[in-house]
Chains A and B, each alone.
Chain A
Amino acid sequence: MRTGPLDYLARWPLRLWLAGVGLFLYLPLVSLVAFSFNDSKRTTVWRGFTLDWYAQLWEDGELVAAFGNSLVIAAASTLISLVLGTAAALLLWRFRFAGKSVLEAVLGLPIVVPEICLGVAFLVFFTAIVPWPTELPWPANLGAIIIAHATFSFSFVALVVRARLASFDGALAEAARDLGAGEWLIFRDIMVPHLVPGLVAGALLAFTLSLDDFVITFFTSGPDTITFPIKVYSMVRFSVTPAVNAASTLLILLTAALTALALWLQGADIAKQAA
């Protein structure tokens, strides 16, 4: 008997597994989103549809400021990690040198080291070793968080760009050189266009990572530098109201949209290469 692609779903262990995933992973998310529209102060009983909680978020000055902080931090750390990550990827792709394998391993460290360790490390670094001035005007007071975010997200950018570089045809660079282009023109006219999908995907990845980071930000933020996830956390500690649901829903929406965009860009690129 032939088995179709979905026939295995007929077996009970797999049905159980699917039900478990639905129950424990998606039901909490669905209820979180649903109750953000609930016309009640309590988050357990459905009373009717409303957008009041979203309006209330908008009136919460601290929350809006925290959201602004998060966007600025994400944008700045993305820009820094894009430049550093691309440079690192180019270095590892183009040259052979002593200690290259060590550098490659070190580059992957921020991905594997537990976030809590990085957080503590940054805390110690920015208080004891290089104290970050606290009285700076906005947005310079976010500098420590921006540096911390760039530190872990540039590894991801480097990985994505490196993967893209592997498919670069060196003959194209030689052809451009043969036609009179110097190093800079080869980079600008030939390499960057090839790297664009990797650069966009890397940037979106860095942006998303920065936007929803909690642990590292928690250790590097001060009283005046609250980010969106940290604000949500403090709201939860105060009281769990549907306003928290609404804030979380916004965050989910934003990160999901950015991740989808990154995946779509990479998918479109793979499809193009396969064609």
Chain B
Amino acid sequence: MTTGQSIIRFEGVTKRYGKVVAVDNVDLEVREGEFFALLGPSGCGKTTLLRMLAGFEVPSEGRILIDGQDVTQVPPNKRPVNMVFQNYAVFPHMSVADNVGYGLKVDGIGGSERARRVEEALALVKLDALGSRRPDQLSGGQRQRVALARALVKRPRVLLLDEPLSALDAKLREAMRTELCQLQAQVGITFVMVTHDQDEALALADRCAVMQRGLLQQVASPSDLYEFPASRFVADFIGSVNMLEGRLVVDEPDHAEVAVAGFDQPVFLDHGVTGAAGTTLWLALRPEKIELHKWAATPPHPGDAPPGRNVVAGTITHVAYLGSESLYEVALADGQKLKALRSNLTRWDQEDFALGETVWLAWHACSPAVLLS
């Protein structure tokens, strides 16, 4: 989508709590107008990073800039950012309209202008009719809209969202995803979201930062994260993956071969790897990129690999029927198991791949992602 100028910069930001390093030397840039997600398992430091951006935590080292201004020591109430809290933190003793208007009241914006802006904000989140309600008369989804309106009414430079969808039930979460995207396009404000839910990050964000143990692992678009992960951690954290450990045996500019234990032939790759022969590396092979073929005397031939390559035989040991697709677990001769995902394109052909059947697994030479760490 939009790729404007830099609006937020973290420069060498570290946060320590005693001996624990929550955020470790993070350099990060968020661009104007984008929907940015901080993604990672719990305790990876993503929330600390967001709270430092809001001003609730002060970095132990490094600087944070918003619009080129150093805000590292600026208190939360003086920053041009507003936050939607995980449990919304809607003020229980104020009406919906008073909640939304609170930030304006604090800023000394009174009377008709405040009323007008509150009305606009409530219309934006489709709560026009509920201004006089009390928070305890609202559903969880409505409370979240109040929190959104309350933050957006201040027209912040950046809107921060802390696990915005985690407290909603599954159906509502789907609907709110779409709505958050539309809302962001409508107001044109930069959104920074923290989430541990990779689906949420992939569906919503223009770019994601994946964190682990306080370190930034990779910053990329959702499709780049999925198709070109930078490390085994990222490949494993985003989506499902078959991780094959191997040794580089052939490395030419236009192709490479990797020997993997339990495979008769080395895996063939359609690109060079730039590594010394014998280097240990990993191949990340997504389940949906492995084709299943009915058993035949001659192995199938995956498009861009030489005959007999990128094909292994195995026995189906588990089938998870998911409706639109089925996830198969296939054991190779040496016992190692690979996961393969197959779309149920017709209404009956999944019967060919029953439990215990011997099948061929095949993949293209461009499918595995090569990982050096």
Contacts and interface: CB of A to CB of B under 8 A. Distances in A.
Interface of A: 169, 171-172, 174-182, 185, 189-190, 193-194, 275
A134 to B, nearest CB: 48
B155 to A, nearest CB: 12
B54 interface: yes
Contact of A179 (B56, B75, B92, B154): B154
Interface in B316-365: none
Nearest to A172: B89
Interface string B210-236: 000000000000000000000000000
A169 B81 CA distance: 22
Nearest to B153: A179
A60 B267 CA distance: 109
Given A174-B56, A180-B103, A194 B93 contact: yes
B102 A179 contact: yes
A175 B154 contact: no
Given A175-B83, A175-B85, A178-B82, A189 B102 contact: yes
11 contacts: A171-B87, A172-B91, A174-B56, A176-B102, A177-B56, A178-B81, A179-B77, A179-B82, A179-B103, A180-B154, A185-B106
B150 interface: yes
Contacts of A181: 77, 102, 106
Given A174-B56, A174-B76, A180 B106 contact: yes
B76 A178 contact: yes
Contact of B85 (A171, A189, A190): A171
Given A171-B85, A185-B106, A178 B77 contact: yes
B93 A175 contact: no
A175 B91 contact: yes
Nearest to A192: B93
A190 B102 CA distance: 11
Contact of A169 (B76, B89, B107): B89
B91 A190 contact: yes
B136 interface: yes
Contact of A180 (B77, B92, B93): B77
A94 to B, nearest CB: 16
Contacts of B147: 175
A221 B248 CA distance: 97
Interface residues of B, number: 26
Contacts of B106: 176, 179-181, 185
Contacts of A180: 77-78, 103, 106-107, 154
Interface in B58-98: 75-78, 81-83, 85-87, 89, 91-93
Contacts of B76: 174, 177-178
Contacts of B87: 171
B211 to A, nearest CB: 22
Given A171-B86, A180-B103, A194-B92, 14 more contacts: A171-B87, A172-B89, A175-B89, A175-B147, A177-B56, A177-B76, A178-B54, A179-B77, A179-B82, A179-B102, A179-B150, A181-B77, A181-B102, A182-B77
A194 B75 CA distance: 24
Contacts of B92: 172, 194
Contact of A174 (B89, B102, B136): B89
Contacts of A172: 89, 91-92
B52 to A, nearest CB: 13
Contacts of B85: 171, 174-175
Contacts of A176: 91, 102, 106
Of A176, A178, A189, A194, most buried by chain B (CB within 10 Å of CB) is: A178
Contacts of B103: 179-180
Interface in B25-72: 54-56
A168 to B, nearest CB: 11
B56 to A, nearest CB: 6
Nearest to B147: A175
Contacts of B82: 178-179
Contacts of A275: 136
Nearest to B83: A178
A181 B147 CA distance: 16
A175 B54 CA distance: 10
Contacts of B136: 275
A275 B86 CA distance: 21
Nearest to B86: A171
A171 B150 CA distance: 14
Contacts of A189: 102
